[in-house]
Amino acid sequence: MSLNSEQLAFFKREGYLVVPNALDPTGLQPAIDEITEAIDAHAEAAVADGKLSHIYADEPFETRLWKIHQEYEDLYWSVIYGQLQGHGIFALVSNEELLDVAESVVGPEIIGSAVYRLRPKLPGHWHGEVPWHQDSGYFEPVCDDELILTVWVPFVDATVERGCLEVMPGVHKGGVVRHTQLDPGEEGRRSYLEILETDLPGDRVVATPVDRGGVVLLTNRTPHRSTPNRSDVIRWSIDIRYQSADLPTNFPPLAMDRNGSATSNGADGANGSLPEAALTCYPPESDFLVRSRSRPEAVVRTWQEFNAIRLAHQPADSTVRWE
């Protein structure tokens, strides 16, 4: 769905927007299927290795990983973030209804940003609590003044009890504030950035509960955090990011400059190899073109192509900007 003028005005003013019924919930199913296939495969391997008693096949999606986690913690770490990059994740990031929402905000030439993050927020689990941050805290400084849209998509109703997002409204027009790198915690896996209380740019906090089928939109400078899951179901969600194709991107083979002209972006197009991530908002992972009227031939249309781009990507280091 496209946003109406009131929704757009709210998003521009407040830096966030809850969009109920943004997509037909059947559009979530391919991603749920891919996640389930991954859980099946990892669980079967764990059973074969004697690390898990059974694969919990009868448990519903909303509880299965949590039940497994109580016996075998590694599976959680094998599915989170951007590790799944197959048919179902691609179907969701290229879902036409989500792209219509994104187009309302970033325009018709849309890069699917490198950074999409699958988050099974387990009941009471420390890793699901994400401290206050702006997404730009993680991105390259060259993109600080640009708009990278987060479309936060829950697979289940995201209630306050389940730990929906909280945002700090109306402060996204300021700059990127100081972030502090949290000490790596359990097995080095806790590596979040945090805006400390003294550095927070506002004091008003809004919770953004949203039902399955709805989404929450954020800008890359909107402070947000994720509160504890106090329920007994997994708050499954994925945050997908989109940006205009005229921003720094590592989408191969060509990026566009500010005038809309193609630039080489460090790519060695001559031998058909994929470019190194030189100029981009998030160099460690690859961008992909998901909608374009001016370059329809370059749009990534199959999950195999999406998968190949991500696997072939040669990550460049991010700028170290926070101590």
Ligand X SMILES: O=C(O)CCC(=O)C(=O)O
Q: Which residues bind ligand X (CB under 6 A)?
A: 119, 121, 130, 135, 150, 152, 165, 224, 226, 237, 239
As a whole number of angstroms, the distance between CA 208 and CA 220 comes to: 16
CB 192 within 8 A of CB 248: no
Q: Which is nearer to ligand X, 43 or 218 (CB)?
A: 218
Q: Which is nearer to ligand X, 167 or 245 (CB)?
A: 167
Q: In sequence order, what E strands does 110-211 have?
A: 110-112, 117-121, 148-154, 165-167, 180-181, 193-194, 206-207
- State the residue number with the nearest CB to ligand X: 226
Q: Which alpha helices (H) appear in 177-317, and where do they start and end?
A: 303-312
Q: Which is nearer to ligand X, 237 or 244 (CB)?
A: 237
Provide the minimum distance between the beta carbon of 134 and ligand X in the complex, in angstroms, as a whole number.
9
Provide the minimum distance between the beta carbon of 178 and ligand X in the complex, in angstroms, as a whole number.
17
Cα angle 162, 243, 257 (rounded to 5 degrees) comes to 160
Provide the minimum distance between the beta carbon of 238 and ligand X in the complex, in angstroms, as a whole number.
8
Cα angle 174, 178, 184 (rounded to 5 degrees) comes to 140
Q: Which is nearer to ligand X, 121 or 291 (CB)?
A: 121
Provide the minimum distance between the beta carbon of 223 and ligand X in the complex, in angstroms, as a whole number.
10
- Running DSSP on this structure, what letter comes out for residue 238? E
Provide the minimum distance between the beta carbon of 131 and ligand X in the complex, in angstroms, as a whole number.
9
Nearest to 136 by CA among 177, 167, 171: 177
CB 313 within 8 A of CB 277: yes
Q: Which is nearer to ligand X, 34 or 135 (CB)?
A: 135
Provide the minimum distance between the beta carbon of 226 and ligand X in the complex, in angstroms, as a whole number.
3
Handedness of CA 220, 133, 207, 287 (dihedral sign): positive
Q: Which is nearer to ligand X, 118 or 290 (CB)?
A: 118
Provide the minimum distance between the beta carbon of 58 and ligand X in the complex, in angstroms, as a whole number.
27
Provide the minimum distance between the beta carbon of 161 and ligand X in the complex, in angstroms, as a whole number.
14
Q: Which is nearer to ligand X, 149 or 274 (CB)?
A: 149
Q: Which is nearer to ligand X, 46 or 165 (CB)?
A: 165
- 102-137 burial code (b ≥16 CB/10 A, e <16): bbbbbeebbbbbbbbebbbbbbebebbbbbbbbbbb
> Three-state secondary structure along 6-34?
HHHHHHHHHCEEEECCCCCHHHHHHHHHH
As a whole number of angstroms, the distance between CA 140 and CA 26 comes to: 35
Nearest to 236 by CA among 21, 25, 15, 16: 25
